[in-house]
Chain A
Amino acid sequence: QKEVEQNSGPLSVPEGAIASLNCTYSDRVSQSFFWYRQYSGKSPELIMSIYSNGDKEDGRFTAQLNKASQYVSLLIRDSQPSDSATYLCAVSGNRDDKIIFGKGTRLHILP
Chain B
Amino acid sequence: GAGVSQSPSNKVTEKGKDVELRCDPISGHTALYWYRQRLGQGLEFLIYFQGNSAPDKSGLPSDRFSAERTGESVSTLTIQRTQQEDSAVYLCASSLEVISYNEQFFGPGTRLTVL
Task: Name A residues whose Cβ lies closer than 8 Å to a Cβ of B.
Answer: 31-32, 34, 42-46, 49, 51, 88, 90, 92, 94-96, 98-104
Contact = CB atoms under 8 A, between A and B. Distances in A.
A49 B106 contact: no
Interface of B: 33, 41-43, 45, 48, 50, 53, 56, 91, 93, 95, 97-109
A54 B114 CA distance: 46
Given A88-B43, A102-B42, A43 B103 contact: no
19 contacts: A32-B100, A34-B103, A43-B106, A44-B106, A46-B103, A46-B105, A49-B101, A88-B43, A90-B104, A92-B102, A94-B99, A95-B98, A95-B99, A96-B50, A98-B50, A99-B102, A99-B104, A100-B45, A103-B42
Contacts, number: 56
Given A43-B108, A90-B104, A96 B43 contact: no
A51 B101 contact: yes
Contacts of B99: 94-95
A32 B109 contact: no
Nearest to A34: B103
Given A43-B91, A98-B33, A98-B48, A31 B42 contact: no
Contacts of A94: 99-100
A88 B23 CA distance: 22
Contact of A43 (B98, B101, B109): B109
A31 B100 contact: yes
